[in-house]
Amino acid sequence: MAMKLAQHLQAGDVITLEGDLGAGKTTFVKGLAKGLGIGRTVSSPTFTIMKEYTDGRLPLYHMDVYRIENSDEDLGFDEFFDGDGVTVVEWAHYIEDQLPEERLDIFIRYIQDNARSLIFRPKGKRYIKLCKEFFTDDGISD
């Protein structure tokens, strides 16, 4: 699913991922990276906060803000939110006040080993359009 979503992404897109530990957030990012043509191995940036992957169709900025203690800290996230690539933020609720108003929020819930429930919440016209195209063009829904 993430690989197919990547085909609809453009520079400046912001995706947030929420879900329990082990729900599949980083696995989803791996699929996005593959769909963007990124050849490098994607791993969780839990201890580094952000990893950049620039060898695909668009750069991918993968953030994990689980360990941020103060959301008021200016860590320069806004330069990536308006940047030349796709920004994905795991545990985004920790920096809610720094996120752009327009974005795609995805909630992942673990069902069983190879099954997850995903809820897409588009915020803003760009992401409503993206979701309509994605769910229609890829045969995801009827």
Confidence (pLDDT) at 139: 53
Residues 6+ apart with CB under 8 A from 88: 14, 15, 16, 17, 29, 32, 60, 61, 62, 63
Other Cβ atoms within 10 Å of 82 Cβ, number: 11
Q: How many residues does the chain have?
A: 142
Q: Please give the average pLDDT of every successive group of 10 residues along the chain, which has 142 residues.
A: 95 96 92 96 82 95 83 65 90 91 96 91 97 78 48
Confidence (pLDDT) at 49: 83
Buried b (16+ CB within 10 A) or exposed e, 123-140: beebbeebbeebeeeeee
Confidence (pLDDT) at 138: 53
Confidence (pLDDT) at 142: 44
| Residue ranges of domains in the chain, CATH in brackets | 2-69+78-137 (3.40.50.300)
| SS3 per-residue string spanning 9-37 | CCCCCEEEEECCCCCCHHHHHHHHHHHCC
Strand partners, 121: 105
pTM of the model: 0.89
